[in-house]
Amino acid sequence: MDDPEAALRELDRALGELKLNGVVVLSNINGSALTDARYRPFFEECDRRGVCVFVHPMIPANAEAFSEYVLGPIIGFPFDTTLAVARLCYAGVFQQLPRIRWILGHLGGAVPYLFERLDNGWRDFAECRANIDELPSVYLKRLYYDTVSFSTPSLRLALEQVGADHLVMGSDYPHLLGSIERSVTSIEGLEIAREQKDAIFSGTARRILNGL
């Protein structure tokens, strides 16, 4: 990603030669934000092609506070995802590149919980309105969120914020924090219609990965 021309060649190889349906990027690139100008050509090409981009969490740039109790993956991952999404939103990337189908790992970190706070930032601070024309929640509701939380209250909150058609099943397997069994049971335990569960289990992923 730090070699823009090489990143574009690899994107072309992945989608063309390998026939992949999307790409994965990290929530920061060696400590640099995804909004860094170096990465703009890559994301512009993803937008031109309507690519599905999965944002996988990374240890935060300033990782000292996460060095004990395995806090890197436990807290650092969702923290860095939240930070990356807030930056992408306020920087106008979601508005300017609307054809990218973004999927956020780990239920988007704290993003669903912070919709109103991010909206208040837009209302209260001029710098948060400089690059976007609408409330952040307008753009955040267009993103997709995997269900790697396994928490019924958290999944209910995400459902209320973005709907079943913007949730996709995730397991985080084989990471120690992941579980295929819990990824299934947490969705099955939701009090929603069967067709909504089917969308979360596979329907939405099939739709967005195939560009429908």
Listed residue (86, 101, 161) closest to 131, CA to CA: 86
Alpha carbon distance 146, 3 (integer Å): 29
Q: What is the three-class DSSP state of 13?
A: helix
- The set of residues, in sequence order, having a beta carbon less than 8 Å from that of 20 and lying 6+ positions away, is 14
Q: With bands split at pLDDT 50, 70 and 90, how would you rate the model's confidence at 155?
A: very high
| pLDDT at residue 179, as a whole number | 85
Domain chopping of the chain, boundaries: 4-209
Listed residue (197, 98, 107) closest to 142, CA to CA: 98
- The set of residues, in sequence order, having a beta carbon less than 8 Å from that of 68 and lying 6+ positions away, is none
Apex 175 CA angle, 172 and 177, nearest 5: 75
Q: With bands split at pLDDT 50, 70 and 90, how would you rate the model's confidence at 144?
A: very high
Listed residue (32, 9, 200) closest to 107, CA to CA: 200
Alpha carbon distance 161, 44 (integer Å): 27
- The set of residues, in sequence order, having a beta carbon less than 8 Å from that of 160 and lying 6+ positions away, is none
β-strands 32-33, 52-56: how paired? unpaired
- pLDDT of residue 178 exceeding 90, the answer is no
- pLDDT of residue 212 exceeding 70, the answer is no
Alpha carbon distance 183, 192 (integer Å): 16
Class of domain 4-209: alpha beta
Percentage of the chain surpassing pLDDT 90? 85
- Helices and strands: H and E segment counts in the chain: 11, 7
Percentage of the chain surpassing pLDDT 70? 100
Q: With bands split at pLDDT 50, 70 and 90, how would you rate the model's confidence at 173?
A: confident
β-strands 52-56, 101-104: how paired? parallel
Mean pLDDT throughout 168-193? 89
Selected residue with higher pLDDT from 126 and 171 = 126
Looking at 15-165, list the stretches that DSSP marks H as alpha helix, in order from N- to C-terminal side.
Answer: 40-49, 71, 77-90, 93-96, 115-124, 136-140, 152-162
Distance of CA 156 to the CA centre of its chain: 18
Mean pLDDT throughout 31-43? 96
Mean pLDDT throughout 92-119? 97
Contact 145/158 with Cβ under 8 angstroms?
yes
